[in-house]
Amino acid sequence: MSVYSFQNFNASLIGPGGAISLGAGTGIDEGGFSVEFTEDADNMKIGADGTPMHSLNPSKAGKLTIRVQKTSPVNALLSAMYNFQRTSSANWAQNIFTATDTVRGDVYTCQLVAFTKFPKNDYAKEAGALEWEFNAGIIDPALAAGI
């Protein structure tokens, strides 16, 4: 399929202190979402004789970034969730983030998710976006899984 629309994107963050819908219609900024693995899956070493050796890294850890318009009510929900989770280590890193493109079939499931910090907040001539960043202990991606 050669057509993409953010309107087909659904995401949610569920954890202690809340369950937040983050898809189309919730005030997500034009930069949307980013998912990035922290480490490479492969490490290759070349021996003295030129023979390659590969090592498979089992880590599935990564970072999530959610860009939310300054005026979106989602910021209040994320702020309350962040503040609640900081009250006890029992609440920390217990979030689950899921994201799905229902037309393309892309699915990301992220577990053991924690806020990295409260976002930078600029007050300027024009409203911007708040970038909420998270560390994810386990990211399971599947691109075009439903096609």
pLDDT digits (tens, 9 = 90+) for 54-84: 999 999 999 999 999 999 999 999 999 999 9
User: Which residues of 26-105 form beta strands (DSSP E)?
Assistant: 28-37, 42-46, 52-56, 62-69, 95-101
How buried is 7 (Cβ within 10 angstroms: 0-12 exposed, 13-18 middle, 19+ buried)? exposed
Residues 112-125 pLDDT 10s: 999 999 999 999 99
pTM for the model stands at 0.90
Q: Give the mean pLDDT of 5-31.
A: 93
The full set of domain ranges for the chain reads 6-38+56-142
* Alpha carbons 35 and 20: distance in angstroms, whole number: 18
Are the beta carbons of 23 and 32 closer than 8 angstroms?
A: no
For the cut 80, the answer to whether the pLDDT of residue 85 exceeds it is yes
Non-local (6+) Cβ contacts of 124 within 8 A are none
Instruction: Check residue 78 and give its pLDDT.
Output: 98
Instruction: Check residue 1 and give its pLDDT.
Output: 53
Task: Give the helix ranges, DSSP H, for the chain.
Answer: 74-85
Residues 25-55 pLDDT 10s: 899 999 999 999 999 999 999 999 999 999 9
- Kindly report the backbone phi and psi dihedral angles of residue 90, in degrees, each rounded to the nearest multiple of 5, phi listed first: -65, -20
Instruction: Check residue 147 and give its pLDDT.
Output: 61
Q: Would you state the torsion angle of the CA atoms of residues 77, 19, 7, 146, taken in this order, to the nearest 10 degrees? A: 150
Could you give the 3-state DSSP secondary structure of residue 61? Answer: coil
Write the CA distances from 109 to 8, 52, 55, 139, integer angstroms: 17, 33, 25, 6
Are the beta carbons of 38 and 62 closer than 8 angstroms?
A: yes
Topology given in CATH for the domain delimited by 6-38+56-142: Pnp Oxidase; Chain A (2.30.110)
Q: Give the mean pLDDT of 123-140.
A: 96
